[in-house]
Structure 1
Amino acid sequence: MTKTTARPTGRPADRRPAGRGPAPAPQQAPEQPPRSGTDALRIGAFLLSAQFPGQSHTEALERTVSATLTAERVGLDAVWLAEHHFVPYGVCPDAATLAGVLLGRTRRIQVGTAVSVLTTRHPVALGEQAALLHLTSGGRFALGVGRGGPWIDLAVFGGGLEAYEQGFPERLDLLLRWLRGARVGGSGPQFDFPEVTVVPRAAEPARRPDLTGWLGLDGAAAAAVIPRQRQEPSPQPQSGPPVVMACTSPAGVRTAAERGLPMLLGMHSGDEDKRDMLAAYRTAWRASGRGEEQLARVEREHVAAGVVQVDDRAGAARASLLRAMPDFFAYGLGAHRTVDGRERSMRDPRAYTELLCDLHAVGTPRQCADRLLATAENTGIRRFALLAEGSGDTAATLHNLDRIGDEVLPQLR
């Protein structure tokens, strides 16, 4: 386990042994606002709910809750939640459900899925869930979707290998119609049903609840006990939740571009790979007849996943990840089973960890900031979802997030 060290800034570190529940937010540390401005980088935390060797499922999930509360307090823009089935690589099986829990525990931060796997979910059920979270959170929910992998999940949930290999576009189109429409029917090979009414409609304006009616108060009494901001409509746009799509192949890039969706790019991609995918995206976008003004808006919403580990010395940051992540990769990724028994190759765990350290924000605060700024300069990507739990230790994860807020974010303004 990684030991925490004395912090160089004024805010006290959260110090709680791993696995002992969420660490409370210090009362003396006010919540930090997100960084603003059209050119500002938007830094979010990518939370796997990873079960490192020797940890319980509860400990992994509690770390995700604690990390989300810390991410909001230190001024991060978002948290992004992964979902997996039947493997310790991530013990959250439904990212949208966990998002609902975390939206209820937070006030400002965006909570997104990275990703909800469409090959194991009915698109209408996911669309209903996304609309519910969007409308009841004041528009703070973001839906990331992807097709997942050829895992045993496909047999358990009934989609089968065909849903993975051929069925994703139909599922995605049905989901998008549900999020944007008022009445939707299905007429494809996977989903064939009569037109039904969309309830609740995600495209309705998000409004705060009328607490006066719930409490039985008249206007004067309500004004005395309910803050004014809780009585007024939330200034959210009249649209559904933002949708991003995980892209790992040329076919995925085309699918996202043809539907006007921003991409979520994986941790394994370096800046050159990102540039190639962005160029392919622009080509597919233009081939589909979409306009340049809309392209410029959507390109500001691409998200790059990565890793972040802050320490006073670059070697110490790297060592923290190399102590924990190789065993975690071998333990977590090694548990995957394919749906049809096909052979699969697996990255060498230590070599993969070293690659992630080379590609991403691992080092001193200045080095982490420089790495993020360099990726933004090289690719144009302004949004990041960074894995901050690579040490495998709850207290160290929260300490890492504190240092990101205190020492990295100010250098990105």
Structure 2
Amino acid sequence: MRVGYTTIFQGGGDPADDQRVYTDELRLCDLAEPLGFEMLWGVEHHFTSYTMCPDPVQFLSYMAGRTKDILLGSGAVILPWHDPVRVAEQVTMLDLMSGGRFIFGMGRGLGRIEFEGLRVPMDESRARFVESAEIVMRALETGVLEADGQYYQIPRRDLRPQPTKSFRDRIYAAAVSPESVRIMADVGAGILINPQKDWQEVSEDMRTYRQQFRELKGTEAPAPMVTGWVCCDEDPVKAKDMAQEYIGAYYESVMSHYELGGRHFANTQGYEYYRNLASYIQNKGSSKVVDNFIELQIYGTPDECYERIVDIRSKVGNDGFNAVCSFSGMTHEMAEANMRLFAEKVMPRVKQLPAVDFAELEAAGAQS
């Protein structure tokens, strides 16, 4: 299994602290390749301290010049917020500058504050995503930009510089809801799983995705990649306390940024899953949702962290795991210790995990 490191640049309440956040996070990113991580991922978010990386391609271009071999992944570029011409150009340029190391991850977005601030109707995210994804993916394979769609009309133009290496096996899309999973099968992308619901539910989503991918594309779907929030310590009590404090605080920031308990989902097209989640939070309160999120993540001693990753793999069949080791106001020293312990005592064992047999995975799912 491939193992990556994901940085999210999570800030706090004081904007004066943003420079320190960037300094500390970039120091951790500089450690990723020397510690043996095979991938480095950046995310895209706007307008709040939830994660302060509005341009993952710019961030990864910076890291391309500071690294040699590590793969560089966007997790993800939110297509409805961008001109697909510019996305295709930026992706190609980064891939050429990095020597073909870029993994292109894309998404359709969820935060109302971001859609409104970027002046894109949230109701249109599904259709915009599909249309834009088709334009970008076709351009990356053919070197030609062209479209006559509902949202994007692009006269035929050459993509220059020309892509020199196929992205066919290097395109992923972030998906949580069943609606998004089906869309990603339609566009032929692999899945980036950001855990927010029971792993058995995710397993069922992946089974549907693989079936739809076969029907639409005539081939097997790529194995997904999983991102997990890590609290690793030799002391199991300390690790659990870290998880309760830091992973719990992270999910509280998720609920705040995305307004997960908000009533706006009831009137927003394409977000049916979040409509149900909002109703659940309104009726049950947020504490149970936070507790559930913590249990989906990777915390404990190195052995316990490894076992959690193996258990996830047995359910969803991922061939990659991306660790988030710095979040929710951890000190730099704590985040670095967390990252180093994971890299030293968990990552080597995870890398040795063999490829998943999807026939066995499907059979196991049918029996459960």
Q: Say which one has the larger Rg.
A: 1
Match of 2:355 in 1: none
Structure-2 separation of matches of 1:191 and 1:282: 29
Structure-2 separation of matches of 1:354 and 1:143: 32
Alignment of 1:3-402 (within 5 A): 41-53=1-13, 56-202=17-163, 204-205=164-165, 239=167, 242-291=170-219, 295=220, 298-300=221-223, 302-330=224-252, 333-336=255-258, 342=264, 345=278, 351-390=288-327, 392-402=330-340
Contact 2:250 2:327 in 1 (8 A): no
Q: CA RMSD in A?
A: 2.5
Per-residue deviation at 1:332? 6.2
Task: Determine helix, strand or coil for the equivalent of 1:309.
Answer: strand
CA 1:283–1:66 in 2, change beyond 3 Å: closer, same or farther?
A: same
Q: Which segment is superposed worse, 352-361 or 279-288?
A: 352-361
Structure-2 separation of matches of 1:336 and 1:269: 16
Contact 2:306 2:349 in 1 (8 A): yes
Task: Determine helix, strand or coil for the equivalent of 2:264.
Answer: coil
Structure-1 separation of matches of 2:145 and 2:313: 39
Match of 2:361 in 1: none
Match of 1:410 in 2: 348
Contact 1:49 1:91 in 2 (8 A): yes
Task: Determine helix, strand or coil for the equivalent of 2:53.
Answer: coil
C-alpha distance after superposition, 1:338-365 (max 9, x if no partner): 9x99368496665444323322220001
Structure-1 separation of matches of 2:114 and 2:297: 31
Per-residue deviation at 1:52? 3.4
CA 1:161–1:380 in 2, change beyond 3 Å: closer, same or farther?
A: closer
C-alpha distance after superposition, 1:67-114 (max 9, x if no partner): 211121111121221111111100111111111111111112112111
Structure-2 separation of matches of 1:377 and 1:389: 26
Structure-2 separation of matches of 1:289 and 1:91: 36
Task: Determine helix, strand or coil for the equivalent of 2:162.
Answer: coil
Which structure 1 residue ranges, 5 or more long, are not aligned? Answer: 1-40, 206-237
Greater share of helix: 2
Structure-1 separation of matches of 2:200 and 2:68: 37
C-alpha distance after superposition, 1:120-167 (max 9, x if no partner): 111111111010110110111111100001513323333323432432
Report how many residues are paired.
333
Per-residue deviation at 1:380? 1.9
Task: Determine helix, strand or coil for the equivalent of 1:193.
Answer: strand
Task: Determine helix, strand or coil for the equivalent of 1:66.
Answer: helix
Per-residue deviation at 1:325? 4.2
Structure-1 separation of matches of 2:287 and 2:236: 18
Aligned-residue identity in percent:
21
Structure-1 separation of matches of 2:168 and 2:209: 23
TM-score of the two chains, using structure 2 as the length reference:
0.82
TM-score of the two chains, using structure 1 as the length reference:
0.74
